[in-house]
Chain A
Amino acid sequence: MIGAEGQTAPSNRRIALVIGAGSVKCAAALGLQKVLDREGIGVDLVVGCSGGSMYATFIALGINVQTAEEMTRRLWTSELTKRRHYPSLLRAMLPQIFPFRESFGLVDDRLILDRLQTAFGTRTFEEARIPLYLTATDFHNGEQMVFSSGKLVDAIRASIAIPYVFRPWPIDGRLFVDGFLTDPMPVGVAIKHGANVIVTLGFESPYQRRTTSVLRFAFQLSSIMSNNLLRANYAFHNLAHHTEILPIIPQFRESIRIFDTHKIPYVIEEGERAAEQQLPYLRRLLEAQP
């Protein structure tokens, strides 16, 4: 069991870190990782979904917290959604003139792709120091896709293909949308890969305070469905397996919106605080014989 700093953990437990959906709030995973590193608790595999896919990748690549924070600030800004994807708009509004295509997304996604390429370049899963699994959803059959090889940029782009916002992403002839559509907290992936202690960090999708546009209306419906999916799947995995699942649930006193990257230090701090609260139980679990 090799940790981010090469430690060997003192038990034969197989530990997974699962970082679910939650946009900028997922940066709390960096605070959790700080605590695990400081305590010398190694992680055997990392699973990421949607916003969590970026942080799972940072951790699996061994990128330190400060660098990951800087990379997020450069990568994830509100500029990403500023430019509309006019062909999609026309295809949605005038399908008889401009035939509708399934590669639909209201936002021009060239900037997000550029930034992902700047951040991760041609790096692949095979370069990860800790085995990494990123999830997306097959647009055509709704099945969960788990990426564990190939280019990181493609897998992350697929995992964050937020419905209506970013176009579904094609990989090897298949089309993928956001991983949260199949499971916002993919604990099952960790179980399937042999984890017996699973530390989870993920968030419910926020509800709209005011539904003032079609897009907000669509987001609201999406949040309702994904939050119910999260609870149903989480309950299933908690009850159907004998795996120990430890949820880390940071409490944010401030509201954290989708592009609030200036609040990342605070988010990391809350992630660290939440992880420290659960540390005694994690320690006791690791010391006990499986």
Chain B
Amino acid sequence: MVIGVEKRGRVTVVSVEGSVDGTTAGELIASLRGQVSGGSHQLVGNLAGVDYTSSAGLRALLETVKDARQHGGDLRLAAVRPEVLRVLELSGFTSILQVFADVDSAVASFPA
């Protein structure tokens, strides 16, 4: 798994490449947790490079969104591939997370 972090104003874009499963989710959680504890509470998860997520990936997303919202921010998802979106839908995640077609839209959804 490759994780990239980019600042766009007050929004932090975390781009993930690879699969998010039991063997890689720990790395993702550590990275996202680090962003929130470091003061970045407006997060965009760019999932364009994620081709699979298991339950471990869902737990990582939920932990981060709860953490970010507790600090007045949010985690929003962008560019989710259909195969990953299906898992998010099956598990009801699309009802608690905002999903955008691309990173620009997700970044723009946060108040300036």
Contact = CB atoms under 8 A, between A and B. Distances in A.
| B is a partner of A | yes
Contact of B55 (A231, A245, A278, A280): A245
Nearest to A278: B52
Interface in A236-264: 237-239, 241, 243-247, 249
B56 interface: yes
A285 B86 CA distance: 21
Contact of A243 (B52, B55, B87): B55
Nearest to B94: A231
Contacts of A238: 55, 58-59, 91
Contacts of A231: 89-92
B62 interface: yes
A232 interface: yes
A285 B22 contact: yes
Q: Is the interface of B mostly helix, strand, loop or mixed?
A: helix
A281 B55 contact: no
A46 to B, nearest CB: 19
A118 interface: no
B37 interface: no
Interface residues of A, number: 22
A284 interface: yes
A247 B92 contact: no
Interface in B70-110: 83, 86-87, 89-93
B17 interface: no
Contacts of A277: 52, 83
Contact of A244 (B52, B55, B62, B86): B55
A235 interface: yes
B90 A230 contact: yes
B54 A245 contact: yes
Contact of A239 (B21, B22, B54, B59): B59
B12 interface: no
B19 interface: yes
Given A277-B83, A278-B52, A288-B22, A239 B90 contact: no
11 contacts: A230-B90, A231-B90, A231-B92, A232-B92, A235-B92, A238-B55, A239-B55, A244-B55, A249-B87, A249-B90, A285-B54
Interface of A: 230-232, 234-235, 237-239, 241, 243-247, 249, 277-278, 280-281, 284-285, 288
Interface of B: 19, 21-23, 52, 54-56, 58-59, 62, 83, 86-87, 89-93
